[in-house]
Structure 1
């Protein structure tokens, strides 16, 4: 089971994880990253790199994190989202968003993607 990016990434989009991924499986949207489950080799290297603990093993996801399994898979295939292979600066305001718990409603998703 691959790793997934969960709610703490929303509005922060730290990319430390991208720098260590040997398979380039991160995909980037406007305010969130996801992991392409078809590319992830379950190495777990990215987990320790995330400063907001947003990356978890899908097999160990808790009830609140479980919806992110399907979300990562769906958004990774979105033609509007692109593969990211190099780290970038986090989003403006990331420090203020870092400790916000409930921010799923802020996730910017492509329209028309089922």
Structure 2
């Protein structure tokens, strides 16, 4: 895994990061996007594209956002989303921890 999307993306779904990703590894859940840790090539192009500052390099993620590293891994283990986000299409659901979060105001 290289980059991780955090709670600042919940209910925003701007998807500017998706447009910048050269390997199509950012998948759409119901309330936020997720970066597939097995497909990400650690290029970092998604970070400046995110208007919400929701994406962090896993080795420099703030401690209060660290749970999103495990959330991303679990999300892809549970959904088996792979092979490119555009071809896969929207997943249509979120990790249970994200589904339970309050909305961003």
Q: TM > 0.5 between the two?
A: yes
Q: TM-score range by the shorter chain?
A: 0.7 to 0.9
Q: Of the two, which has the highest radius of gyration?
A: 1
Query: Which 4+ runs in 1 deviate beyond 4 A?
Result: 80-83
TM (norm. structure 2) is: 0.75
TM (norm. structure 1) is: 0.70
Q: Which runs of 5+ in 1 are unaligned?
A: 87-104, 110-114
Cα RMSD (Å) of the superposition? 2.5
Q: Secondary structure at the match of 2:13?
A: coil
Q: Secondary structure at the match of 2:17?
A: helix
Aligned residue pairs: how many?
A: 91
Q: Deviations over 1:7-46 (max 9, x none)?
A: 1000111100001101111111110111000000100000
Q: Which runs of 5+ in 2 are unaligned?
A: 88-95, 101-105
Q: CA 1:35–1:56 in structure 2 vs 1: closer, same or farther (change >3 Å)?
A: same
